[in-house]
Structure 1
Amino acid sequence: MNKRSFLLVRRVMIVVTLFLTMSLVGCIQPEETSSNVERGKPSQKISEASFHFIDVGQGDATLLIGPDFSVLIDAGRHDHNDVVPYLKKQGVSHLDLVVGTHPHADHIGQLDKVIEAFPVKEVWMSGDTHTTRTFERVINVIIENDIDYYEPRVGENFQIGSLHIDVVNPLELTGDFHEGSIGLVATYGEVRILFTGDAEEQTEDEMLERKEDIEAQIFQLGHHGSSTSNTKKFLETVNPEIAIYSAGVENSYGHPHREVIDRLNKMNISVYGTSQNGTIVIKTDGISYSIEVSEKTEINEANEQELISKPCIDINTASLDELRLITHIGGERALQLIELRPFNNVEYLTRVDGIGKGRLNDILEQGKACVN
């Protein structure tokens, strides 16, 4: 199969248009680049590998490590710093491949930190561009470290040592970040894992219509276990033995959604999740696999009460949980607020989508939000 090539400078110039303050112009040479990950038959040698679904709260990060490969799929939240320490704890010295399934900050949030901490051979991203500082930082660090960059598409397959990767999404970009999520099947020996990022029902249907080979023993649930994904017909085609979701404890989105869990239970599919089990590790010899989990400690009610009792929540320094105590600030708005920092005063919260004068008045009346 021919390699798909493209101009990295095309992506950089889009970012320059979105961010007038960026200083990327002139630092990229307009030369074609393509994936350096090999295509071909898998190695005959199979020994133990492990797949780590890392507990990063309301985000995604999965580490695949084996005798001759190290791959990171997504890199956690932009307001956390837990991915690099975890990789170091596992003895990771380099990464053959880092995949950012799509440009939302709960998936590429610490990708820049990962690249700065470890030698990375290649980065894959969907090709969609975003108007956030997180996305800007990731693009900058890829360029500054001269990392090979690639945008995989349906039908491509790659070999990283004894790990085989088949790309099942996207076929092309539509501008919808979820639709453009990189979907892939990672195969080690006879064990297959399906990743779909935040792909939703429409994208799942398109994969089914294209008759993508998505059957896998292990399925990382789409969009953190949301009911907008993980349809019955899609699950029936994947036919997983276990499903794993990544979500934060008591997150404001309600992930994983009850109807998805009920659906999985009715289909006799075992379910594990980072909000309940912490980091989930699957160990395999390429034929069979085992699962290691540890029960996660419940949220400390005393700490929650401490947050609630605070007289003032500084919107420039507050954590995600603290921001959500401000009226009209849910999980999505809290993420956007953090991206837009710093604020000169509380009145500037109207920069956050969905906060108009009426909601701003409610926030001011509540008296929780402040700028110190």
Structure 2
Amino acid sequence: MWLHYPWHGEIVYFDIGQGDCTLIRTARNRQVILVDTGGKVSFQKETWQTRQSKTSGQTVVANYLLSKGINHIDDLILTHQDTDHVGNFPSISQEIKVKQVWIPAGMEQSSSFQRRLVASRIQPTQVKGITTTQHHSGWPANLSLLHPFQPGKGSNEDSIAFIYRYYGINCWFSGDLDRNGEKQILQQHPTLRAQILKTGHHGSKTATDPSLVAALQPKLAVISAGRNNRYGHPNQETLATLKNYGVPYLNTAHSGMISLRIVKGRPQVSTYIK
């Protein structure tokens, strides 16, 4: 009973390597949301070098969900089309039932997304493209959609961004949205605040603009990056921005999986190193 109907909700920032995947689940698993799925960026290989194996979506994400008695995802939010954010969604859908999928409007026309959709157990009718200018029936409760403003191609600058209201704490998510997009959001929502900041683009200097940190006034930043990744994430410029504003951070590359719970009205952060 406790496994299937836990008293506490939880936000889990998975240690998925160089990628992004976050679980949001409320108490008693009444609402289960997965934000991105991770995915391995594969560089060109000869046929003999390629081998079939389970994805981190299956070995990490699906296994964790099943271990918590979760056999379905109410809402799968794919922030944009990059492989390290969406590459695992076909394999996860083979293990966990997905009820509906949210993508930035226009991404449904991407050939790479369509190939993955065909390989999944998700039907096209379950996929909804969204922008902030349209009413979206079924968009998850407690999520305030901030971006995109208009249809695009599903690239970084089209990333879905939102704030999740978690038992009185605001949590910021923005995929790989760039600084220009962050500033546009602030122009429309100058009074935004978020206690938990998920840094954009794995801590790259292309995101997490100082003006965003100043406006949100976060108490903790979470960075999702792979160990010894080839991109140099997180960038020292981003870390300097967090330091300048007195924001402590946790990085999945060093801390492993990061779990946030609210216990007796207080945030409780736990880390799980492999």
Q: Would you say same fold, with TM above 0.5?
A: yes
* Structure 1: unaligned runs, 5 residues or longer: 1-46, 297-372
Deviation at 1:279, TM superposition (A): 0.4
Deviation at 1:142, TM superposition (A): 6.0
Select 2:249's aligned residue among 242, 259, 271. 271
Structure 1: distance between partners of 2:120 and 2:230: 32
Structure 2: distance between partners of 1:62 and 1:86: 12
Q: Is the 8 A contact 1:116 1:141 kept in 2?
A: no
Q: Which residue of 2 aligns with 1:245?
A: 223
Q: Is the 8 A contact 2:89 2:120 kept in 1?
A: no
* Structure 2: unaligned runs, 5 residues or longer: 1-6, 42-54
1:51 aligns with 2:31: no
Deviation at 1:71, TM superposition (A): 0.5
Q: Which residue of 1 aligns with 2:64?
A: 86
Alignment CA distance shift 1:250-1:142 (3 Å)? closer
1:60 aligns with 2:20: yes
- Counterpart of 1:192, as a letter, is N
Deviation at 1:159, TM superposition (A): 6.4
Query: More strand by proportion, 1 or 2?
Result: 2
Task: Provide TM-score, normalisation by structure 2.
Answer: 0.82
- Counterpart of 2:34, as a letter, is L
Q: Which residue of 2 aligns with 1:220?
A: 198
Deviation at 1:73, TM superposition (A): 0.2
Partner of 2:114: helix, strand, or coil? helix
Structure 2: distance between partners of 1:153 and 1:186: 17
Structure 1: distance between partners of 2:16 and 2:164: 21
Structure 1 segment 93-132 matched on structure 2, within 5 A:
93-126=71-104, 127-128=106-107, 129-132=109-112
Alignment CA distance shift 1:144-1:166 (3 Å)? closer
Alignment CA distance shift 1:256-1:148 (3 Å)? same
Aligned residue pairs: how many?
246
1:287-321 CA-to-partner distances (Å, cap 9, x unmatched) read: 4211001456xxxxxxxxxxxxxxxxxxxxxxxxx
Q: Max radius of gyration: which structure?
A: 1
Structure 2: distance between partners of 1:266 and 1:295: 28
Structure 1: distance between partners of 2:242 and 2:21: 22
Structure 1: distance between partners of 2:8 and 2:122: 35
Partner of 2:156: helix, strand, or coil? coil
Query: Taking CA–CA contacts closer than 8 Å with sequence separation of 6 or more, which of the two structures ends up with the larger relative contact order?
Result: 2
Q: Which residue of 2 aligns with 1:338?
A: none
1:235-278 CA-to-partner distances (Å, cap 9, x unmatched) read: 11111110001000011111000111121122111100100100
Q: Is the 8 A contact 1:188 1:286 kept in 2?
A: no
Alignment CA distance shift 1:122-1:142 (3 Å)? farther
Moved more, 136-145 or 236-245: 136-145
Partner of 1:120: helix, strand, or coil? strand
Q: Is the 8 A contact 2:18 2:40 kept in 1?
A: no
Q: Is the 8 A contact 2:147 2:158 kept in 1?
A: yes
Structure 2: distance between partners of 1:169 and 1:212: 14
Cα-Cα RMSD: 2.3
Alignment CA distance shift 1:286-1:206 (3 Å)? farther
Q: Is the 8 A contact 2:14 2:256 kept in 1?
A: yes
Q: Which residue of 1 aligns with 2:45?
A: none
Structure 2: distance between partners of 1:227 and 1:130: 26
- Counterpart of 1:54, as a letter, is F
